[in-house]
Amino acid sequence: MMRFLLLFSRQGKLRLQKWFTPMSDREKKKIIRDMTTMVLARQPRSCNFLHWKDLKIIYKRYASLYFCLAIESQENELLALEVIHRYVELLDKYFGNVFHHFPPFPFIQYTCVCELDIIFNFEKAYFILDEFLMGGEIQETSKQVVNRCIESSDMLQETMEEYMSKPAF
Amino acid sequence: MSDVVEKTLTALPSLLSLDSQPGSAKLSSTSKLGNLIRGITELTSKHEEEKLIQRELASIKEQVSSPNTSMRQMKELMVRAIYCESLGYEASFSYIHAIKLAQQGTVLEKRVGYLAVSLFLNESHELLLLLVNTVLKDLQSTNLIEVCMALTVVSQMFPKDMIPAILPLVEEKLNHPKEIIRRKAVLALYKFYLIAPNQVQHIHNKFRKALCDKDPGVMTASLHIYLQMIQENPEGYKDLTASFVTILKQVVGGKLPMDFNYHSVPAPWLQIQLLRILSLLGKNDQSTSEIMYEVLDESLRRAEMNHNITYAILYECVKCIYTIHPKSDLLEKAAKCIGNFVLSPKINLKYLGLKALTYVVQQDPKLALQHQMTIIECLDHPDLIIKRETLELLFRITNAQNVTVIVEKMLEFLHSNTDDYTTIDLVGKVAELAEKYAPGNEWFIETMNTVFSVGGDMMQPDIPNSFLKLLSEGFDTVEEDRKLRLFAVDSYVSLLQGEPGKLPQRFLQVISWVLGEYSHLREELEPATVMRLLAKLLDMKQTSSETKSWVLLAMTKLVRAGQVFQSAQEVSETYGSSMDTVLRQRAQELQHLSQDCELRARVLPQDAGLEPLEVDSSLSFLDGFVSEALAAGAAPYKPPHQRQEELAQAKALSLEPYGLSLPISMSSCSIADRQSPTLLSMSSGLSGDSTDLSHKGSSTTLKLDGVKRVWGREGYLAQREAVEEAAQVEVPSPLRSPSQQAEADSSHSQTPTPTPTPEPDQEKQQLASSLFFGLSSQSSVCLMGKSEPTPQRFRRKAKGQASSSGAAEQISNSLVSAPSAVDNFLCNNLLDSNITSQVGISSSEQTSELSQGPATTNGTCDTEAESTDGDIKGSNPSLIIGDNGLVAADPTPHKDPGSPKDFCLSSHLPAELSELCRSEITPLCSNQSLGLSACHVHKEDSLVLVVFITNSSDAAIRQILLDLDSEQLQVSCVSDSPVEDVTSHSVAMHQFSLTVKRPSVHVEVVGMVSYQLPVGTPQEVQFSYKLPLTSFIRPLTVSTEEYGTMWLSFSHDTKQNLTLISDGEEPLTATLNVLKEKLQLHIVEIIGMEGIIACQLLRDQPCLMHCRVHADVLAVWLRSPVPDLPDCLIYHCQRALQEH
């Protein structure tokens, strides 16, 4: 089971936080501090896995953003790395960054606009995450379905707003 | 009813297809949130940020409480409030409004409301109770999205006690026609199962229904619950094994819809979940394991694609195979798989390989032996995580023979480690190994010394406890025990004589206990000396009062000898008036016992460690007290289990709102209750129990509330206490006196550490043989006590193994030295491209296009090629066929201009330069007697600046001295012998080779000519010559793979959007071709809407470009190891495209 997911920038600024188990504010603050210092201190191209207390920390950098996922010790690290990757794909697909299903040049990480998108639309990033993970487990692995869910709610938003702006009948 | 909604939903996208791009206009740049965010990013100080946020919060606060604020505005406000909170500013006033928004808003507003609630509140927040009703309402809604949101929030955070209220509704959703609702319901139930398993006990059969759901997504979700339940009780679910196997078979066989594929691997998450379940079911169960062999084999076989996700599956497969009842051919395959992981150059896989080894090594120690050289390499890996995992692996293969080497490695790691958690863990492991396998007294005590000083005050308290226990109880012959204790005493005395201030408190406590107990064993050691050393500890500032009481106790034991009476008196006087009651008590004890020999002999008998103290466990001496209390009306004692039952009953009866406070208040308020009669009467039903609550732990010992338990079996008990001082631990190097050396058992003193040899690989082999010693033979696991050390045998064996591992070492060496640097790529490419350039078609027209081959490298091959092939190159000036076969032979603006002067000057160019592309010859300056002109010539590996000096006078000019300098460039003269004299009406030429020191958009060379006319004084002329950076750009031929490695290693980058050129051709290709022609770039590859380009700045300074067509612009991303280079280059790209 996943315990928490943090997104922070290269400067250590927190961009998104998701806690899958109850945690006091103090604990959260400490974890955020620990994670940013630990992950930011890592050399490039070293192992993506870390130990923190009894948890395993899986992190990956996409452009200027660090994705940092904590899992329990018996979980599969590589799979967690793919969870992060899938989330990035979902974000990219949603925010319309031309992220290819099979990027022609895989070493170029296309998520360059991601951080800004997430800063300005963080609530959307949370909604996408909620469709993707639920209660610390993967809920939906299909990219199409997740996006369909989000889009259908978005559509609803637009219709509702249109509806509301129409004169009453 | 929900069908209607469903239809509407599915119809919506087609109705609203006008806006097909979901991401469009997402960047709400004009919104208030956008403004706020932008405002914050512009600020420079934390103080300003605080001011801005406080202002923002004040305005939000005002607006949310205004009755005129619509829900829609509220949604916007809430998003801003979330943003402020995420920056660390409290916006607690908005919590209640978030709940209101979730309650009253329309779907979208509701969603923001729920999000705000889940971010603001935690599970125990009181406001959460207000949410229950909303959730209930939404669960019953006909709107699918509302139901989804409710289920999501329920699984995110829901008060435990309120689960029964919504459980029936969630259960009902398991039958919902929409699979997404069913799946979310299952996951919500899973969450309930985790936080309150007994609440969902009655619906286990429904879980089974979910498992059989026709939708694979719902089935996958139900596996989470099953994994959990099987973990707790594998026996109960054996009957499902066949079903799980069938599911896995179908998944692996690709029977699931394509939707479930992840990077063309079928449902990896589902596969891994199933593998984990199977390993739980098959553990220690042969018949169950047999059912799954086939599918495991197939999984191993199918997962062969080189993608992370298949490695994830493989790893899980291997784990499963090693967990269940073994089958030899599967084990073999799994072992091979682990080998692939371990040997992988990918660091993540290597890590997992080591982990897998750790996992299997207990069953199959030979596997570790196979990979010993890799393990040795990992031991020195720069990444601490890898190192740590390797130590973990070594810990598992430790035996009596290799313990010294492994412990040495662990201690080495400990010294460099900074993470507390790792230190605690590793220190515990070292202590465990030392206790199990210690080869000798000396080693044991020294290792434990390091453990205590490194582990400091963080380590598990049972380490010093069990160490002291080991010392006092002994484990071998009486003589051995005595030697061990003696050695400890000696070691500690020398430590205290050193710098005791640097030792951690725990260690000092151990030391003082040992000295108090055993220092008398060393007869030549004066008790006064020990006393003095201990007194020094008392005087140190950093000594905690807890340590002081240990010291005082040790002193009390020491006064046995009688001679130290005087100093004991002094100490007890000092501490007799201490503010610390424990210390004062110890001082009193010291005082009294030092005076009363008889009493002391009874209280602290010498060598009494082994006799157990008699404890009256029935506490019969309290009988009188109890009956008195009962007579006075106290409630009778109830044992803990009885109390638990009563509590449970009380809980079952009470309704939720009251149930909350019951268990919490009891233990905390028991003392306070008794002081206030009113409170007592209120909780009278509980007070009888509450006194007993504190007894829960052990009924045999008398334990009083609030009184520390300081005495135990080993004497004074260590207590966990937050020690204020930072544990500035430095490891003491235990000093050995000659007498101690002699004392130590001669057979033990030979520590089999490998002696360093000059050759590193020999060292490694030796290390390997000492690390993996005893693995090849049947390793006899020594469970308790010491094993025979047999150092002699160890040595002999080690040599034999060293030779056997020689081959492996060689291989790994060659791997290390394999070429990997970018330089090498370049060099290789150069050789290739030189060959091609010589067969190239000669072009009569002079173009700006240079040879495609990268013209620079390190090494001699380059200069040689230059000098010998000079002529050939001259006649075949350029080759313009790139790797991609595109021919760019357009005439360039740099053609020879026809001006006669230029022509006449250009005839002076040396032959090898005249055929190369060059700039116009521009006049720099002139006077009556002398004119200067210059041009630059693009050579493959350099830029040559040619300066012409024209003598327009009738006399010869002598002593011409030309001096060039530049801030951005490195200038070196290439002419063999600088021309000093120019005869009348003739031209002299100077050549300079230029390379870039610091990139800039334009670079400039300033120069000065000094010369001597036949008559008059020496004269000077100054000039400057400007040239664009593009003159220094050359194509860089790399393959896509090389490009990839380079890309990741470059740190300076810049991004820009360029305009696309579309003249008939495909825009991307057209644009890139223009850039290629004008700027001498090399197009590495174009795929679809993307292209990668490489070039280099003379010399050897690569710059990579990645271009992507995005809408109607070209998004360009440049990377280079050279600062400023990307910026300069992007400028020239812009110019080039504008000019086009």
Peptide bond into B302 cis (omega under 30): no
- Please write the tens of the pLDDT for every residue from B113-128: 999 998 888 877 888 8
Q: Are B770 and B405 in contact (CB under 8 A)?
A: yes
Please name the member of A74, A94, A120 whose beta carbon is closest to the beta carbon of B34.
A120
- Please write the tens of the pLDDT for every residue from A98-134: 333 345 565 555 444 467 778 888 888 898 898 889 8
Question: Above pLDDT 70, what percent of chain B?
Answer: 74
pLDDT at B296: 92
Instruction: Grade residue A7 by pLDDT with cuts at 50, 70 and 90.
Output: very high
- Please write the tens of the pLDDT for every residue from B444-463: 888 998 888 888 888 888 88
What φ, ψ does residue B1114 adopt, rounded to 5°? -105, 110
Q: How far is B1074 from B1133, CA to CA, in rounded Å?
A: 9
For B423, the enclosing helix (H) or strand (E) is helix B420-437
Contact A81 B272 (CB under 8 A): no
Three-class DSSP category at B1101: strand
Q: Summarize the confidence of residues A147-159 as an average pLDDT.
A: 60
pLDDT at B418: 78
Please name the member of B148, B260, B1047 whose beta carbon is closest to the beta carbon of A141.
B260
Report the range of poorest mean pLDDT among B138-152, B209-223, B427-441, B961-975: B961-975
pLDDT at B760: 57
3-state SS of B734-753 is CCCCHHHHHHCCCCCCCCCC
Q: How far is B497 from B537, CA to CA, in rounded Å?
A: 11
Q: Summarize the confidence of residues B239-257 as an average pLDDT.
A: 91
Residue of A57, A94, A156, A162 to mutate when probing chain B, most B C-beta within 10 A: A156
Q: How far is B275 from B230, CA to CA, in rounded Å?
A: 13
What share of residues in chain B are helix, strand, coil (percent, to 5)? 60, 10, 30
Instruction: Grade residue B366 by pLDDT with cuts at 50, 70 and 90.
Output: confident
* Residue B480 one-letter amino acid: E
CA distance to A106, B318, B713, per residue, from B311 (Å): 18, 10, 52
Q: Summarize the confidence of residues A23-37 as an average pLDDT.
A: 91
CA distance to B665, B680, B1062, B1077, B1080, per residue, from B1067 (Å): 74, 87, 5, 15, 19
Interface of B with A in 1052-1081 (CB under 8 A): 1055
Q: Is the pLDDT of residue B697 over 80?
A: no
Q: Summarize the confidence of residues B862-884 as an average pLDDT.
A: 37
ipTM of the complex: 0.86
In this structure, the number of other CB atoms found within 10 A of the CB of residue B642 comes to: 12
- Please write the tens of the pLDDT for every residue from B831-849: 444 433 443 334 434 433 4
pLDDT at B775: 63
Chain A CB contacts of B111 under 8 Å are 127, 153
Residues 6+ apart with CB under 8 A from B22: A93, A94, A96, A147, A150, A151, A154
Beta bridge partners of B1027: B1003
Say if B917 is an interface residue toward chain A (CB within 8 Å).
no
Chain B CB contacts of A130 under 8 Å are 115, 152, 156
Q: Are A1 and A71 in contact (CB under 8 A)?
A: yes
Q: How far is B404 from B413, CA to CA, in rounded Å?
A: 14
Contact A49 B348 (CB under 8 A): yes
Q: Summarize the confidence of residues B78-105 as an average pLDDT.
A: 89
Place of tokens 């299909």: A142
Residue of B26, B144, B307, B1057 to mutate when probing chain A, most A C-beta within 10 A: B26
Question: Above pLDDT 90, what percent of chain B?
Answer: 9
CA geometry: angle at B911 spanning B905 and B917, to 5°?
A: 75
Chain B CB contacts of A105 under 8 Å are 1040, 1043-1044, 1085, 1087, 1090, 1092, 1106
Instruction: Tell me the average pLDDT of chain B.
Output: 74
Residues 6+ apart with CB under 8 A from A31: A4, A6, A23, A70
pLDDT at B649: 61
pLDDT at B470: 84
Q: Is the pLDDT of residue B1138 over 50?
A: yes
Q: Is the pLDDT of residue B245 over 90?
A: yes
Residue B478: exposure state from Cβ atoms within 10 A (0-12, 13-18, ≥19): exposed
Query: In the 8-state DSSP scheme, what is residue B969?
Result: E
Report the range of poorest mean pLDDT among A24-38, A126-140, B23-37, B261-275: B23-37
CA distance to B300, B930, B935, B972, B1135, per residue, from B920 (Å): 67, 20, 6, 21, 20
Q: Is the pLDDT of residue B23 over 50?
A: no
- Please write the tens of the pLDDT for every residue from B549-593: 888 888 888 876 566 777 788 888 888 888 888 888 888 888 888
For B994, the enclosing helix (H) or strand (E) is strand B987-996
Q: How far is B1058 from B1074, CA to CA, in rounded Å?
A: 13
* Residue A22 one-letter amino acid: P
Chain A: give the shortest CA distance to residue B772, in Å: 26
Q: Summarize the confidence of residues B1093-1108 as an average pLDDT.
A: 86
- How crowded is the C-beta side of B1044, counted as CA atoms within 13 Å? 10
pLDDT at B848: 38
Q: How far is B691 from B704, CA to CA, in rounded Å?
A: 10
More confident call, B27 vs B507:
B507
For B132, the enclosing helix (H) or strand (E) is helix B131-139
Q: How far is B757 from B126, CA to CA, in rounded Å?
A: 69
- Please write the tens of the pLDDT for every residue from B188-244: 999 999 888 888 878 888 888 889 888 888 999 999 999 999 999 899 899 999 999
- Please write the tens of the pLDDT for every residue from B371-394: 888 888 888 888 888 988 899 888
Please name the member of B83, B152, B1085 whose beta carbon is closest to the beta carbon of A134.
B152
Say if B231 is an interface residue toward chain A (CB within 8 Å).
no
Report the range of poorest mean pLDDT among A108-117, B723-732, B1131-1140: B723-732
Interface of B with A in 862-891 (CB under 8 A): none
Q: Are B1013 and B933 in contact (CB under 8 A)?
A: no
Q: How far is B171 from B188, CA to CA, in rounded Å?
A: 10
- From the list B1034, B867, B1025, the residue with the least C-alpha distance to B936 is B1025
For B683, the enclosing helix (H) or strand (E) is none
Q: How far is B903 from B884, CA to CA, in rounded Å?
A: 36
Q: How far is B387 from B393, CA to CA, in rounded Å?
A: 10
Contact A152 B12 (CB under 8 A): yes
Cα-based torsion angle of the residue sequence B866, B870, B876, B879 in order, rounded to the nearest 10 degrees? 10
Report the range of poorest mean pLDDT among B37-41, B425-429, B1066-1070: B37-41
Q: How far is B151 from B87, CA to CA, in rounded Å?
A: 28
Q: Is the pLDDT of residue B12 over 60?
A: no
pLDDT at B419: 80
Query: In the 8-state DSSP scheme, what is residue B612?
Result: P
* Pairing label, strands B969-973, A65-71: unpaired
Q: What is the CA radius of gyration of chain A?
A: 17
Chain A CB contacts of B424 under 8 Å are none
For B650, the enclosing helix (H) or strand (E) is helix B640-653
